[in-house]
Amino acid sequence: MNTITAAITAVGAYVPDFVLTNKALETMVDTNDEWITSRTGIKERRILKDEDKGTSFLAVKAAQDLLAKANIDPLEIDLLIMATATPDMPVAATGVYVATQIGATNAFAYDLQAACSSFLFGMSTAAAYIESGRYKKVLLIGADKMSSIVDYTDRSTCIIFGDGAGAVLFEPNYEGLGLQDEYLRSDGIGRDFLKIDAGGSLNPTTLQTVTDNKHNIVQDGKTVFKYAVTNMADSSELILKRNNLTNEDVDWLVPHQANKRIIDATANRMNLEDSKVLMNIEKYGNTTSATLPLVLSDFEHLFKKGDVIILAAFGGGFTWGSIYLKWAYDKK
């Protein structure tokens, strides 16, 4: 019996229509387009303005895009993994609702949360289910409505985050394509540097926590940046060495879209030319769990069967890592 590997066989994506530009942010906080662009590489981000719609709306749209493009019956899906840091609600898993909404009623579903590394960790999880031989179709969705937890008077966060969703389908492969290796890590030292203070069991919601604005994301930007640059670059370099890959072997780097300077540092460590580094940060900002699948969707037309792709991410907690993937199909 041939060895089963887990390959991505389809992708889908969705971003809201409303565009929040740097120019618009100039009217909201003390900042300007040049400052934002030079420090982050972000020019605009998409925002889901509908107050009655949450992360599930974004996820459903991305999943439906994938199913339509790949002509897949949702009843064939065995499992749906929902990678998100902004679930619709604390209890009642968002992924379960999404599975029902898209008609994947034969699937079981759950949420996975590892901040900006959620989708990367979800890839590892989805691949393990496929490699076990028990499941044939695993739908992994990365989606976040970051605007729901951003304070638009806080310059350190509101310029960075946007809303969006992306989805990939994992299926068995017998040609040695798909996920080849992974290097995933975490360190609780990051707990205090990128967080939401209230709303959990440690600091439950009260009138005081709402009054004190404790339910929005806050970060120590300099500390997060330092750890992100080091760990994303280290893990990407390590995955190459461990698999005897050189910069010439790598066709594409798909990095988490948090900050262009972090992406550049990772690419430099891998000694990659700019043409191999895929970025859409200027259009979407940091969509957290959605960044990696949005890149895969935006650049799917460039990928060829057998292409070597390195995916890398860094998130709060801290969480980080890299995955080595061989692309499994040519886009029709």
Active-site residue, from 22, 116, 231, 259 = 116
Distance CA 252, CA 243 (A): 16
Measure CA 20 to chain center. 20
User: Both tokens of residue 25?
Assistant: 């942010």
DSSP type of residue 294: H
Note if 158 is an active site residue.
Answer: no
The phi and psi torsions of 196 (rounded to 5 degrees) equal -120, 120
**Strand runs labelled E in 159-280:** 163-173, 178-186, 194-195, 218-219, 252-255
Q: Which of 22, 158, 173, 256 is catalytic?
A: 256
- Beta-carbon count within 10 A of 208 CB: 9
**Are 286 and 257 in contact, with CB atoms under 8 Å apart?**
yes
Identify the three-state secondary structure at position 35.
helix
How far is residue 236's CA from residue 314's CA, in Å, rounded to a whole number?
11
Catalytic entry in 22, 231, 259, 286: 286
Sorted by sequence, the CB contacts under 8 Å of residue 120 that are 6+ apart come out as: 114, 184, 256, 292, 311, 312, 313, 321, 322, 323
DSSP string for residues in 33-54: HHHHHHHH---EEEE---TT--
Q: Is 90 helix (H, G, I), strand (E, B) or coil?
A: coil
Q: First CA to last CA across the chain, in angstroms?
A: 29
Q: Which of 75, 92, 85 is nearest to 122 (CA)?
A: 85
Tokens of 10: 């389809």
Q: What is the rounded CA–CA span in Å between residue 17 and residue 7? A: 31
Cβ distance 117 to 319 under 8 Å? Answer: yes
Active site residues: 116, 256, 286
